[in-house]
Structure 1
Amino acid sequence: MKQQHRRGRRVFAAVLLASTVAAGLVVGSGSPAPAEQNVVVSPHPDKKQPRIMDGRVYTITSSGPNVVVGGTFTTVRVGNSSQPKWEQPRLFRFNSNTGAIDTSFTPDINGDVEAATYTPDGKSILIAGNFTTVNGQKAVRVAKLRLDGSLDTSFNVVAGSTVKDFALVGNRLILGGKFGRINQVPVRGLAAVNATTGALDTSFDMQVADPRSSVSPYVQELDVSADRRWLVIGGSFGRVGGEVRHQVAVIDISGSSPVVAPWATDRYQRQCASVYNDTYIRGIDISPDSKYFVVNTTGAYIAYDTMCDSAARWELPPGQTGSGLQPTWVNHTGGDTFWAVEITESAVYVGGHQRWTNNPRPSPGGDSDGPGSVVRYGIAALDPYSGVPLSWNPGRDRGRGVEAFLATDDYLMVGHDTTQFDGLLRQRLAVLPTAGGTTNPAPQDVELPVQLFYTTSGSSLTTMTFNGSSFGPRSTVSTPVSWSGTRDGFVQHGRLNYFGPSQAFYSREFTGTTIGSSATNLSSSVGYVDTSHNITPYDQPYGVAETRTAAFKNGRVYYTKSGSNALYYRGHSLESGILGGFEHLASTSDWSGARALEFIGDYLYAAWSDNRLYRFHAPNGTPDWGSRTLVDSGSSGIPWSSMTGLWATK
């Protein structure tokens, strides 16, 4: 079971507010399963949430409505009230139903708390970091607290240096950090202990080695999948368990002893700015369905094709195996750090001190906006399918940034280090409800038989049925819309999205029988910015103005463009209408003959300049050129060579 925690640091102690009963504390409710959030949360933070009056937040964990927050703060206050401030440094607990702070919980911890989680029975809280005492008693960087804040001395771990992160899997507590010893036994960077006693788990032998700098190797971040199969770690290392792994490794923990998974990438081997010589990994989270994970980084802008200052999706085995693996998508800030990441069913929430997202090519260089970039101050929601920003954009004052997330069934909790969120005073903690949230539509697949629609160089729209081998009679669709200047498109969720005149990308209602009389110019309306240079029309991404054929599958637009014979793809969010700023090469074969494209089932269909229709096997989107098959030689009389647009509906 995935533990709901994110990293944390520091605490002191005092008292002043209400009792456990007044706080609404529920005892023994158990550690929750991964949150079920089928909406993008409301951008407006709860009024009753507590306020954190100073410092930073590094960790948030919950058991039912009982939420524990850790950080560098010293003072908290009940939200939306005139009650006085309360000194409770480094760790406090509140009730998410009422917003009340539990003043019976007053642990005195003498150092930073980097991570916290409830035990599965909800009766204890595990913490880790850089402390050496709790309530004046020895507790060296890992400790177990009772619900009254007292130290459980039956659990005893001594870590030689900072524990940066951990994950609780059954009764095994997996530790990652800068330590070289656990319980006086030499073990470097990654270890496991018994969650009841603290005894070192000698069956978990998976040390990290080959640091990227003169600093000893260490683990900066880790997460465990909800199915308890996969452990993903990130940090300063080049080898894990004897296998070459650059900064990120996937480990199979389903057996009695861990095994390094056959999953490797060299994308994090390249260096960013020299100040990040040890590691530029800053956040890792695994999806609720245990199928993929996202890695956040810092590093400064180096080049558009690096992983510096990015968020990237990677598929877990069996979705991806082997070496030289590539991410499913990457989103760049253009020079600002992404810290924390939290994945739900509907969104990938990323936080840092970024000013922009979708910004792989800032102009004139790093720390600037560039073609396709959109403003997302300090926090953003990315489309899980494409990595493109959703329209969700509450904004916050940037500071150092968001460094803690927690998703529950009812809320997304955001821990940071500044005071403003969504233009409101919400000091260092924002509790965002799922109530009032919005949906993020998943990409649709169109399966045979279909209704085909096409345009030619004129202004008419023609339709016909298609079952995969034969076509029904053609008819002209009566519509007030002029299709002149159409450059191909696709239909999703009752909307036709297409490249059209004035070098722009458009969207209009399209059900096959109902066609919207007006179109939205997405190029001008989604918020692209490039204030320094205005290199492209509407500040949209490179290549949009030049696109001439297009089709959509699995969150990607596949397209050809003028001036090139290749096939490309970029991400696209159906919810926001934003096109991905990064242009990927899908195929180097000669696609110059393509006149219109459309995905139907596992195939990409292409109307060609030789007046024929071909299909290419493309179950995952990227077509196999060698699978090209003739569908229609032109004997049907359909003008394939004259098409300027081709799309299908059921």
Structure 2
Amino acid sequence: MRRRLLAAAALTSAALIPATLPGAPARADMAQSTVVSANPVDFTPHVLDGTVWALTVVGDTVVVGGNFTKVQDSARRTTYNRRNIFAYGLRDGVVRSFAPQVDAPVYSLAAGAGSTVYLGGSFRTVNTVAQRGLARVSVTTGARLPAFTAKINWGDVRALAVRGTRLYAGGTFSAVNGVTRVGLARLNTSSGAVDAGFNPRLSAPGLKRTRVEHFDVTPDGSRLVAVGAILKVGSVNRKQIALFNTSGATAAVLSWYTDAYQAQCMPGFDTYLRQVKFSPDGRYFVVAATGRDSAPTKLCDSAARFETTGGGKHNPTWVQHTGGDSLYAVAVTGSAVYLGGHQRYLNNPYGTDAKGPGPGAVSRPGIGAVSPTTGRALAWNPTRLRGVGVRAFQVVPNGLIVGSDTDQLGKEYHGRVGMFPS
């Protein structure tokens, strides 16, 4: 307890399930020199129901999105009505007055300029004003910013990222502001106007619909990697994953490709890729996958590292197998790759969820970390109540915030939100 209180004090003084469910917010993670502690801080608040799908930080405020209705302070004395979105202090965990009215789940968040935050999800109204799937609100007051008028035609927004004056959005939509953009669009951060030159032309012939499950953008904004129910980019074949040059005015698909996700997992998955994150330097990215299948030669229920540079065919640098349990979230900090889902094991290519662990497998219930170089499990093993799984990681200067659907993290009570300090 004393160490956790010291960690909290240091932070205070620092400058700081179904296959069609969405992923978590997209943004390249910041670098950290060491692996975080396995002992969560005590001051984070608790979400009492539903699932936390999205996390972002605006100044010294953590914004949390998902599908929930109740939030409690860290001492579990005061309960707040907060539907699908709330905020708390990064340094002290105090629940903010921020409480915009959002009528359906928030699946993605991105920090905006001037103490604002972008929301993405399946909502149709924000503060009783019609604005489907996309909105920008003040973190100070919770007010909707009317100058940002972007809206999708249907479906949802599952991932957001801001780079400069560009806001990227990915999901299940097929148009933004009435302009055709299937699954992926680039918008002006101030007005929400669609970038006319950026049209990836994604499609998935034979599948029910095209969708971007998740994406990430390098810190310099020059590369974007997207995963989901994708089979083509224009006339170019790209199975479940595509890499783009986004440094210019267009969405230029690169010659980079992989056949690693050609194999089918359990029938019924139009895509089994769930989240992707670049390394802090943009040199590589890591993909987290579900699939309800296990085999040493498949990437179902795995994490895999791919190098960003170079054209043509790429094979994974390494693959981390769970043995048949889903991974939904990944964070890449340079010192570690954090993986979250409802996995029981890591290092488990020869085990299955039905028959148990194979040779060399290690127990890592619901959360774990692997070496960025080898992909092998690190000693870090805080454990969590597995549930459906971790849906969001947020790397901050002094730790790692976790969002999920359960209330036990690091062998302590933490309602759907918790933080491991550096």
| Same fold at TM > 0.5 | yes
Q: 1:388 to 1:260 in 2, by over 3 A?
A: same
Residue in structure 2 matched with residue 279 of structure 1 by the alignment: 271
Residue in structure 2 matched with residue 192 of structure 1 by the alignment: 186
Preserved CA contact (<8 Å) 1:222 1:284: yes
Does 2:312 correspond to 1:317? no
Residue in structure 2 matched with residue 163 of structure 1 by the alignment: 157
Q: Which has the larger Rg?
A: 1
* Residues 14-29 of structure 1: pairs in structure 2 closer than 5 A: none
Preserved CA contact (<8 Å) 2:28 2:216: no
State how far apart, in whole Å, the 2-side matches of 1:253 and 1:192 are. Answer: 10
Q: 1:262 to 1:283 in 2, by over 3 A?
A: same
Amino acid at match of 2:262: Q
Residue in structure 2 matched with residue 452 of structure 1 by the alignment: none
* Residues 267-306 of structure 1: pairs in structure 2 closer than 5 A: 267-276=260-269, 278-306=270-298
Residue in structure 1 matched with residue 360 of structure 2 by the alignment: 372
Does 2:398 correspond to 1:410? yes
State how far apart, in whole Å, the 1-side matches of 2:243 and 2:207 are. Answer: 24
Is there any run of 5+ residues in structure 2 with no aligned partner, and where?
1-11, 17-26
Deviation of the 1:122 alpha carbon: 4.0
Amino acid at match of 1:134: V
Deviation of the 1:194 alpha carbon: 1.2
Q: 1:400 to 1:39 in 2, by over 3 A?
A: same
Residues 211-246 of structure 1: per-residue CA shift (max 9 Å, x gap):
4x5311111100001121110000111111332111
Deviation of the 1:255 alpha carbon: 1.2
Q: 1:367 to 1:134 in 2, by over 3 A?
A: farther
Amino acid at match of 1:89: R
Deviation of the 1:34 alpha carbon: 4.9
Residue in structure 2 matched with residue 329 of structure 1 by the alignment: 318
Residue in structure 2 matched with residue 71 of structure 1 by the alignment: 66
- Structure 2 SS opposite 1:116: strand
Does 2:170 correspond to 1:176? yes
Preserved CA contact (<8 Å) 1:191 1:207: no
Residue in structure 1 matched with residue 247 of structure 2 by the alignment: 254
* Residues 41-120 of structure 1: pairs in structure 2 closer than 5 A: 41-79=36-74, 81-103=75-97, 105-119=98-112
Deviation of the 1:401 alpha carbon: 0.6
State how far apart, in whole Å, the 2-side matches of 1:388 and 1:138 are. Answer: 48
Deviation of the 1:210 alpha carbon: 2.5
Deviation of the 1:254 alpha carbon: 0.8
State how far apart, in whole Å, the 1-side matches of 2:71 and 2:291 are. Answer: 33
Preserved CA contact (<8 Å) 1:336 1:367: no
Deviation of the 1:65 alpha carbon: 2.0
What is the percent sequence identity of the aligned residues? 38
Deviation of the 1:366 alpha carbon: 4.9
Deviation of the 1:302 alpha carbon: 4.3
Residues 418-452 of structure 1: per-residue CA shift (max 9 Å, x gap):
11111111111111110xxxxxxxxxxxxxxxxxx
| Aligned residue among 110, 124, 138 for 1:132 | 124
Q: Relative CO higher for 1 or 2, CA cutoff 8 Å, sep ≥ 6?
A: 2
State how far apart, in whole Å, the 1-side matches of 2:215 and 2:108 are. Answer: 11
Is there any run of 5+ residues in structure 1 with no aligned partner, and where?
1-23, 435-650
State how far apart, in whole Å, the 1-side matches of 2:60 and 2:164 are. Answer: 22
Amino acid at match of 2:289: T
Residue in structure 1 matched with residue 327 of structure 2 by the alignment: 338
Does 2:386 correspond to 1:398? yes
- Structure 1 SS opposite 2:268: helix
State how far apart, in whole Å, the 1-side matches of 2:90 and 2:186 are. Answer: 31
Deviation of the 1:163 alpha carbon: 1.3
Preserved CA contact (<8 Å) 1:301 1:366: no
State how far apart, in whole Å, the 1-side matches of 2:362 and 2:31 are. Answer: 28
- Structure 2 SS opposite 1:58: strand
Q: 1:383 to 1:124 in 2, by over 3 A?
A: same
Q: 1:406 to 1:181 in 2, by over 3 A?
A: same
Amino acid at match of 2:177: N
Q: 1:367 to 1:293 in 2, by over 3 A?
A: farther
- Structure 2 SS opposite 1:274: coil
Residues 71-126 of structure 1: per-residue CA shift (max 9 Å, x gap):
111111110x25221111111111111110112x110001111111111x342110
| Aligned residue among 314, 325, 342 for 1:353 | 342
Residues 597-618 of structure 1: per-residue CA shift (max 9 Å, x gap):
xxxxxxxxxxxxxxxxxxxxxx
State how far apart, in whole Å, the 1-side matches of 2:260 and 2:61 are. Answer: 40
Q: 1:411 to 1:302 in 2, by over 3 A?
A: closer
Residue in structure 1 matched with residue 232 of structure 2 by the alignment: 239
Cα RMSD of the aligned pairs, angstroms, is 1.6
Preserved CA contact (<8 Å) 2:28 2:280: no
TM-score (ref. length: structure 1):
0.59
Q: 1:153 to 1:367 in 2, by over 3 A?
A: farther
| Aligned residue among 381, 389, 402 for 2:377 | 389
Residues 359-413 of structure 1: per-residue CA shift (max 9 Å, x gap):
11116x7552111111000000010000000000000010001000000111100
Q: Report the more deviating stretch, 373-382 or 70-79.
A: 70-79
State how far apart, in whole Å, the 2-side matches of 1:263 and 1:366 are. Answer: 36
Deviation of the 1:282 alpha carbon: 0.7
State how far apart, in whole Å, the 2-side matches of 1:341 and 1:195 are. Answer: 26
